[in-house]
Amino acid sequence: MDIAKAATPVLRRPRTWWLAGIAAGLALVLAVSLALGRAAPTVKRSDVWIGTAEQGEMKREIRANGTLVPRQVRWITAGAPATVQQVVVEPGARVTADTLILQLVNPELQANFAKQKAALAGAEAAVAAQKALLHSQLLDAQSMQTQAESDLLTADIKRVANERAFEKGASAEIEVKQSKITVEQDRKRLAIQEQRVTAIKANIEAQVRSEEAKRDEAMSALAIARQQLDALGVRAGIDGILQQVDVEPGQQIPSGGKLARVARPDDLIARLQVPEALANEVALDLPVDVDTRNGHVTGRLIRVDPSVRNGSVTVDVAFEKPLPAGARPDLSVEGRVVLGTLANVVNVGRPYGAGADQAGSLFVIHPGDNEAHRVSVRYGAMSSDRAAVLEGLHAGDQAILSDTSQWNGYDTLRLR
């Protein structure tokens, strides 16, 4: 017969203990993993930029890169549509104001010049013919005036003779009266003739001015045609270096199209690109130190572009002394715009992402410690490479200045 066995409690079974132990171990491993996941991250010292806070004068300056450009640049454009016949001088050559750079052709301009030349000759002939005609009319009028003067003189002599004869009884009274009437008529005729001569002279002046105006108009048209024709021989216009030629033989050029550029290589300025974030403090006449890679030269800001392009503001620097040897257009330079000096301030190398008069945080390293702890700071004025710190740092403190945004969720960093 079967005998019933007594039931073994679950907690006393070996298998149960094994399962419980494994579960507890997994829980412990999970807890340790979570704890390690929130542990301070470790970073190599060589992978971050560490700076030391200082107290004293802080020179405020803005660094900006740029190039040397000629102060005087002349763009040569086409005065009329034309075809490039010949490139006489290649870029890079030294030229004078009268140097022929390009030769253009335009048959229409040549035909127009001949037409305007003929028009001017016709206008000049018209002026001469009008003057001759009017002068002839004036001579006729003056001749009639002279005849009237002669008639008046003759009539007056007859009047005097008749009056004397009448006094002696040798002439009738009617003859005296007739002679007086004749004198009066001749006097009026002379007055009319004098007025006619005066009117003809005034008419001559008006008509001659009219013809001369037409001649002057033709002369102006011829001057424009000659200027357009002369412009087919493109000249430099200034002494300097031919920097570029934008056309080639056979190319059709519209009126106003760019042909070439000439610049003065001995009169250069620095054109710098100031970062947009720093441009609000840039002003005219600020001193600038420019590194030409072959020496330093000082200058002053003479122009600040009012607009922002590609994240920067363009400024021009004129130099106070001659540039070092080797300076030439398009040479890369670095400029330092001096904004001023702050006295007795705590300052540090400019941290990544720091802005003037803003709050932020830095990982500060205490002496002899291998950990960096996050500290709240408040910045003051900024320079390109330095930042004034109003709160949070003291002279001698070391801080991580490079980008630490990947550790925004941590207050401590381990350094090795």
Q: Give, for all 416 residues of the chain, the pLDDT tens digit.
A: 445 555 445 445 555 656 666 766 666 655 544 444 457 788 888 888 899 999 998 888 888 899 998 888 889 988 888 999 999 999 888 999 899 999 999 988 888 888 988 988 888 888 888 888 778 777 877 888 888 788 778 878 887 887 777 777 766 778 778 888 888 887 888 888 888 888 878 777 888 888 888 888 889 988 988 888 888 888 988 888 888 898 899 999 898 889 999 988 878 999 999 888 778 778 888 999 999 888 889 999 999 998 888 888 999 999 988 888 888 888 899 999 888 888 889 999 989 888 888 899 999 998 778 889 999 999 988 887 889 999 989 888 899 999 988 888 898 989 88
Every domain of the chain and the residues it spans: 43-69+267-415, 75-106+232-263, 108-228
Q: What is the pLDDT of residue 15?
A: 59
Whether domain 43-69+267-415 has CATH 2.40.30.170: the reply is yes
Q: What is the pLDDT of residue 151?
A: 78
Q: What is the pLDDT of residue 367?
A: 78
Tell me, yes or no, if the two domains 43-69+267-415 and 75-106+232-263 fold the same way. Answer: no
Say if residues 266 and 282 touch (Cβ distance below 8 Å): no
Alpha carbons within 13 angstroms on the beta-carbon side of residue 271 total 12
Q: CA-CA distance, 174 to 165, in Å (whole number)?
A: 12
Q: Which two tokens stand for residue 45?
A: 């010292």
Lateral strand order in the sheet of 252-253: 233-235, 100-105, 82-87, 252-253
**Domain 75-106+232-263, CATH class in plain words:** mainly beta
Would the pTM of this model clear 0.75, i.e. be above it? no
* Dihedral pair phi/psi, residue 60, rounded to 5°: -90, 120
